[in-house]
Structure 1
Amino acid sequence: MVDESDGIEEAFEGQLRVALTAAGQIGERFARAREEALRRAQAVSEQEARELQARIAAERGASRVEMAQVHRPEWWDKAEPQDVGRAHQLARAWADSDPEAVRAEQRIKDEVRNRYGVDVDTANGDPAQVQAAVARAEQLQREQQEQRTRAGVDAAEAQSLMTDAQRADQAAERARDAAEHEPDPAERGQAAADAATHETTADRLRHDAAPAYDSAERREAFASDLKGRGVGEEDVATRLRADVSYGKPATEATRTTSAKAPRARKVRGARGAQVQRSGLDR
């Protein structure tokens, strides 16, 4: 008697083919977009090119962490088609500039061939589903870019406010020194009043900077970016909790302590119905 297939393996393989085909296209498009963005930045200024290169280096580092999991057999035992597709997308996106991506891509090809009998280079997923998957990925990228742009505007505003706050702190410090050392009593009194005014201004500017930097939009962009990199919900929540703890502009950490310091008046479970095909029964 011939056992009839329950359709699970066929469905899994079909999803895998779609995920791999779409991932290859998306990864290559992202790589071209990154190269074009770098060319545009270089045409604008060296400073903008350096800043973009720094962001690219950070993205490459984060992608390496994700790609590294394809070298763990236990990851493959639980991987869903979308997980494999995401790893393949990253490998294709960075293969032209990162040897680790080349290694990951080869490992993906070997595992997919050995476990599922699928050739990554000729996966040939259903064209309509592949087109839909590519469109979703590109829409997600656009949304993430818009969120990052809004977050960047907030961060720039906060940085400007914090810079002004530091200047007010410095002015307060100078006024306090004058209040201690001016021989004229009237000038000492005026200097003390000026110091209090500058301190109030600095506190107000820091207060205004906090929500501009630590905004809902920035957190949304951060969470969306993490999820887009394949980070799980629990890990995203953990990262956001940590982000709350450090949700202050960088200049807050460098604020001079003298402004406030008292003086001596002198931050899958296992896939249900996982198809165990660690070696195809041929």
Structure 2
Amino acid sequence: MAEETDGIEEAFEGQLRVLVTAAGQIAERISRAREEASRRAQAVSEQAAREMQERFEAERKTAQLEVSRVHTPEWWDRATPEQMAHTYQVARAWTREDPEAARAEQTMRNEFRSRYNLDVDKTNADPAAVSAARQKAERDRADADAERHRAATEAAEAQLLLNQADQEDRRADEARLAAEYEHDPDIQAQRLTEAEAAGDRSAAFREDGRTVYDSADRREGTARDLESKGIDSELVAVRMRADVSQASAATEVVKTSRAKIPRSLKGNMPRGTQVQRPGINGR
């Protein structure tokens, strides 16, 4: 039984060495990408630089929350190699900018050394395995970006369908109102027929909207799952904001992916429902 336990521990530590090595390398890339994004924003305008700084500040606070857990022994007892590596990546990526991250990074160094005899500066991890881990993270990042792009497109399509349904609802209401005040039986029947047809079109648009929304929601969930499996989710965020000097369509699509489709798409939506256009929430 002892040999089986030792084998499990060795596999755990071997995986940890690989992931921590890859995480350290990616953290350096994150830090450099953040510095480059900041320089490019400053070159564009003071406003762009200010907005970039605000975004980085929000990310820094999120990072502080994540790395704070490393000071709790219980976290170390439960954390998987992937979780340890990701948290180490976040701490190391912010070490130069944030004292809390620097303290967490040092704590993790000490814990890695005492618990697993792992020196983060000399992990002796298999280079091929480290390269494979980095490549997997890149694939997950690319897949997550693609899913988010498709989710944004589908979310916009769902909103368009909902707007069309609202238009048909208004047409139906207008036709019913006209029929109510119409004295000619033939014209009255025609208006009621028009109202029924508009109502049918509205129902079809809403059903299509729900279907498209569900697809967009699943894609967003897939993107989150992919990022949670990788160790470069913060690098994704930095890259998505790096080119602040170009108001490209792709950037707008990424921003739109943060928008939420109204809840009315998820359930039964009565005719005449008034829907506000979703806002665009920057990260």
TM-score by length of 1: 0.61
Q: Distance in 1 between matches of 2:93 and 2:86?
A: 11
| Structure 2 residue runs without a partner (length 5+) | 1-5, 231-259, 274-283
Residues 8 and 187 of structure 1, relative CA distance in 2, 3 Å threshold? closer
Counterpart of 1:272 in structure 2 is none
The correspondence of residues 52-91 of structure 1 with structure 2, limited to 5 A, is: 67=67, 69-91=69-91
Whether the aligned pair in 1 keeps the contact of 2:165 and 2:205 (CA below 8 Å) is yes
Name the SS for the 1:118 alignment partner: coil
In 2, Cα distance between equivalents of 1:252 and 1:219 = 17
2: distance between equivalents of 1:192 and 1:31?
65
C-alpha spacing 1:164/1:96, structure 2 compared with 1 (3 Å):
farther
In structure 2, the partner of 1:250 is 262
Task: Please name the residue that 1:235 is paired with.
Answer: none
| Contact 1:172 1:259 (C-alpha < 8 Å) held by counterparts | no
Q: Report the CA distance shift for 1:188/1:27 in structure 2 as closer, same or farther (over 3 A).
A: farther
SS of the residue 2:24 aligns to: helix
Encode CA deviations 1:181-219: one digit per residue, 9 max, x unaligned.
45665554433222212111111111222222212x752
Render the CA deviation track for 1:116-152: whole Å, top value 9, x for unaligned: 3434344453322222211111112112222222222
- Alpha-carbon shift at residue 88 of structure 1 (Å): 1.5
Q: Residues 21 and 123 of structure 1 are in contact (CA less than 8 Å); yes or no, is this contact kept in structure 2?
A: yes
* CA-CA distance at 1:164 after TM superposition: 1.0
Residue identity matched to 1:139: R
- The alpha carbon displacement at 1:13 in A equals 4.3
Give the aligned partner of residue 225 of structure 1.
Answer: 224
Q: Deviations over 1:63-121 (max 9, x none)?
A: 77755543432221133433311222233456677776556434423432443343434
Say what the alpha-carbon RMSD is for the aligned residues: 4.4
Aligned to 2:19, the other structure's residue is in SS state helix
Paired residue total:
231
Check if 1:203 corresponds to 2:203.
yes
Q: How does 1:1-20 map to 2 (within 5 A)?
A: 12-20=12-20
In the aligned structure 2, how far is the partner of 1:201 from the partner of 1:147? 30
Could you list the runs of 5+ residues in structure 1 that have no partner in the other structure? Answer: 1-5, 232-247, 261-282
Asked whether the equivalents of residues 163 and 251 of structure 1 are also in contact (C-alpha less than 8 Å), the reply is no
CA distance in 1 between partners of 2:103 and 2:191 (Å)? 66
- Paired residue type of 1:89: Q
Q: Secondary structure at the match of 2:118?
A: coil
- Counterpart residue number, 1:152: 152
Contact 2:210 2:265 (8 Å CA) reproduced = no
Partner of 1:27: 27
**Identity between Structure 1 and Structure 2 (%):** 43
Q: How has the CA–CA distance of structure 1 residues 256 and 7 changed in structure 2, closer, same or farther, with 3 Å as cutoff?
A: closer
TM-score by length of 2: 0.61
Mapped contact 2:141–2:226 kept (Cα < 8 A): no
Give the counterpart letter for 2:79 in structure 1: A
Greater Cα offset, 180-189 or 190-199: 180-189
